[in-house]
Structure 1
Amino acid sequence: MTVVDAPAASLAPASLGAGHLQAAAARHAEEAERTGRLHPEVVGAMSDAGLARHFVPRRWGGTAGSFAELLDTVAGVGSACASAGWCSVLFAAHGRLAAHLPAEGQRDLWGDSPDVRIAAAIVPPAGWLAPAPGGWTLSGEWAFASGVEDADWVLLASLDHSGDGAPGYRVLAVPREQVRVRETWDAVGLRATGSHSVVAEAVFVPEHRTFLREALVTGVTGADAAPCHRVPYQLVAALLFAAPALGVARAALDAWTLLVGLRRLPDGRPLADDPTVQQTLARCSAEIDAARLLLEAAAGRADGPTPAPAAAALNQRDASVAVDLLVGVVERLMRTGGARALITGGGLERAWRDIHAIAAHAALQPAPAAAAYAATVFPATA
């Protein structure tokens, strides 16, 4: 098989779509919350819906798809189960990262099928990397490898001190069975993402299954590279992490609306007649739509022609502000949802925990996003 060929079976379209994945995620959301693990049906539905292959190069039977399409799919899944939405977007995103591997390394991952689930723990780099004949020996522990229990491969990053200058930041692709998972994820939100730690003990990684982080900064530069592979990591990282939050806020609004519909005012009229309730509904739904527009604008910059120099800062700004809006929405819904909103299993309290877990991610913090944007507006000073 040559680099540009793919097995005929891998070129077949996904048998089931995003609607099936969303339904499966909703059906198993409560169980996932209790067990801290996505149901096998949900994991399988991610592959059926084409999430793992979404950014895989077409030469391997992948979709090399758009960011706008992924945003829409992930938001839908996130409205059913935040953990499923989180793992869905990361399995897609990590396929895009792995597309920076040399062709031989890509063949190792996708030579048989593009539907390969990839976990990752590449920020910050960790562990120890030593040169070995034909490659590297990797040891150490990496935290927060979301979806690793259901992954086929894992991307890990470590500093390469083999040169004379500053250490290189090397990303390495390792088969999942060659590492050990240490169950460290027991969090208040995103409970079923399985964001555990990964331990490697003197694992050999051939040179062709590694690349330097600079490749993520520049994007894939080959003449046949798809648009989704040409964009730099910093242009799309915050957008991808923000996508599940849009679905979570929508689910929170649906849960709140159901709660309000069951309650009545002291005079017997529906609580929905209360002007304060109506204002909450209007403001929250509008802010969800505003956040959606911000994320769609960021996806449009990523999917468009060569981005302007300030595009990465704009996308980081818009993703951060969008998530801030969505957190505010869920906070407001919790405050006005009454005692029933606090009951476990009602949907609203789970959305409150999940959206705070998403917003805690380093890529979505307001201060660095503001600093990056300000640097494009204010002139540099000596």
Structure 2
Amino acid sequence: MITESGGAMLFTEQEIQTIREQALGMDKHRQVTPDVLKSIYDHRLFHLFVPDELEGRMTPLPDAARIFQESARIDGNLGWLVTIGAGGGFFAALMSPDISRQVFARREAVIAGSGMPTGTARQVDGGYILNGSWKYCSGSTYATTFTANAVIEPGTMVQDTTGEPTADQGEPEIRSFIMNPDQIEIQQDWNAFGLRATGSHTISAVEAFVPYEMTFSLTETKGYENEPIYRYPFLPFAQVSFAGVAVGIAEHFLEAAESLAVKRGSSSHVIGRLNENKAALQLSVADFYKRVEASWDELMINGALSDVTEAQVTAQSIETAHAALCCGQQLFPLLGLSAAMEDSEINRCWRDLQTACSHALLRRYE
């Protein structure tokens, strides 16, 4: 179960039951349900990295990773959406205080977007005209704000740190753009075989005007400098978050696999392989949290991570995600045709696990 400090339950047994009962429908219809979103909003899980003064519930990264893990253990779509939605809180420090309050300070506030600079922007009086499309924007169907990166077109003006326009020095600048839902179009093209209810569609903008104040740089902090999470390097932050999801889905997979194996009266070989994978995952998860907690302690003491620590967190996150993926790869072929049925619990878990671990930040190139 997900627990908060002091051991209090976060999700109730009734919430867990409701989410799991609706999991098949979410998978089939490729849409998250209002009940699942309500649980996320009620527990402010999209606001785990939003300052408390913006109606957030600022959470240390090791604790947040456990929330991502346990959310994904309940259901893969839930875990992925909570993780992606919460990650948008990282931008609160990059926006001006007034804009961050406008974006985050409400119960249902959540960002969807993309970090890939697949758009272009030209400067005009008061802001920019933005064009482009951005793939894999999880949570697009209910997001209250969208963010996307774009390249400033050569020959236009750029902004210095004071917000004043300066002459373009020839190097293309990449900026992040904040848009309202009515400024983008959603192309419902997320047809992956797993994590089907995450709404990870392509978004596009055509001649969208974005004021200067609704843009930001990924390298310039504008507020909340005292919040430790904003000093954690973004790459390992994302890898820790995604690894937590992979672990949670793998735990659900193992739970479903054990139930199916017992029901089918599987051989001792299958049971043995199941126990081997369970033990291997547990060992890797223990190493994962040891590494993440040590990095967080280093951040709290030194105010930053060393390059060595950053590399260690990255390596352990990838390794643990791989251990999670191996559970599916090694056990799924042993579970018979019942597991091959698309509407079975074990099948959904397997598809979600494969999809989550396909993310570029979790792949192991060996």
TM-score (norm 2): 0.86
In 2, the alpha carbon distance for the partners of 1:130 and 1:176 equals: 21
Give the 5 Å matches for 1:145-294.
Answer: 145-161=137-153, 162=156, 163-215=168-220, 220=221, 224-264=225-265, 271=266, 274-294=267-287
Which whole-Å deviations, capped at 9, do the CAs of 1:8-48 have from their partners, x for residues lacking one? xxxxxxxx933465444212100001100101111121111
125, 129, 139: which one pairs with 1:137? 129
Tell me how far 1:114 sits from its aligned partner.
5.4
Q: Residues 108 and 144 of structure 2 are in contact (CA less than 8 Å); yes or no, is this contact kept in structure 1?
A: no
In 2, the alpha carbon distance for the partners of 1:298 and 1:21 equals: 31
In 1, the alpha carbon distance for the partners of 2:348 and 2:284 equals: 20
Tell me how far 1:115 sits from its aligned partner.
4.1
Show the counterpart of 1:121: 114
Unmatched runs of 5 consecutive residues or more in structure 1: 1-15, 265-270, 371-382
* Higher deviation after alignment, 48-57 or 18-27: 18-27
One-letter code aligned to 1:164? Q
SS of structure 2 residue aligned to 1:198: strand
Q: CA separation of 1:104/1:207 partners in 2, compared to 1, >3 Å: closer, same or farther?
A: farther
Does residue 29 of the first structure (1) align with residue 23 of the second (2)? yes
SS of structure 2 residue aligned to 1:189: coil
Which whole-Å deviations, capped at 9, do the CAs of 1:94-151 have from their partners, x for residues lacking one? 112343212222122134x2541111111x2112201122222211111110111011
Tell me how far 1:186 sits from its aligned partner.
0.9
Q: CA separation of 1:126/1:243 partners in 2, compared to 1, >3 Å: closer, same or farther?
A: same
In 1, the alpha carbon distance for the partners of 2:16 and 2:213 equals: 36
One-letter code aligned to 1:330? G
Give the 5 Å matches for 1:223-372.
Answer: 224-264=225-265, 271=266, 274-304=267-297, 305=299, 306-367=304-365
Which whole-Å deviations, capped at 9, do the CAs of 1:58-113 have from their partners, x for residues lacking one? 231312211122222221221222112101101000112343212222122134x2
* Higher deviation after alignment, 278-287 or 35-44: 278-287
SS of structure 2 residue aligned to 1:127: strand
Show the counterpart of 1:6: none
Higher RCO (C-alpha under 8 Å, 6+ residues apart):
2
Q: Residues 21 and 46 of structure 1 are in contact (CA less than 8 Å); yes or no, is this contact kept in structure 2?
A: no
Which whole-Å deviations, capped at 9, do the CAs of 1:317-345 have from their partners, x for residues lacking one? 11111111111111222122122222222
Show the counterpart of 1:380: none
In 2, the alpha carbon distance for the partners of 1:24 and 1:48 equals: 15
Show the counterpart of 2:41: 47
Give the 5 Å matches for 1:92-131.
Answer: 92-111=86-105, 113=106, 115-122=108-115, 124-131=116-123
One-letter code aligned to 1:136? Y
In 1, the alpha carbon distance for the partners of 2:17 and 2:146 equals: 27
Q: CA separation of 1:341/1:99 partners in 2, compared to 1, >3 Å: closer, same or farther?
A: same
Task: State the percentage of identical aligned residues.
Answer: 22
Q: CA separation of 1:302/1:147 partners in 2, compared to 1, >3 Å: closer, same or farther?
A: farther
One-letter code aligned to 2:276? R
In 2, the alpha carbon distance for the partners of 1:46 and 1:223 equals: 24
Tell me how far 1:223 sits from its aligned partner.
7.3
In 2, the alpha carbon distance for the partners of 1:190 and 1:120 equals: 17
Q: CA separation of 1:235/1:350 partners in 2, compared to 1, >3 Å: closer, same or farther?
A: same
Q: Residues 76 and 249 of structure 2 are in contact (CA less than 8 Å); yes or no, is this contact kept in structure 1?
A: yes
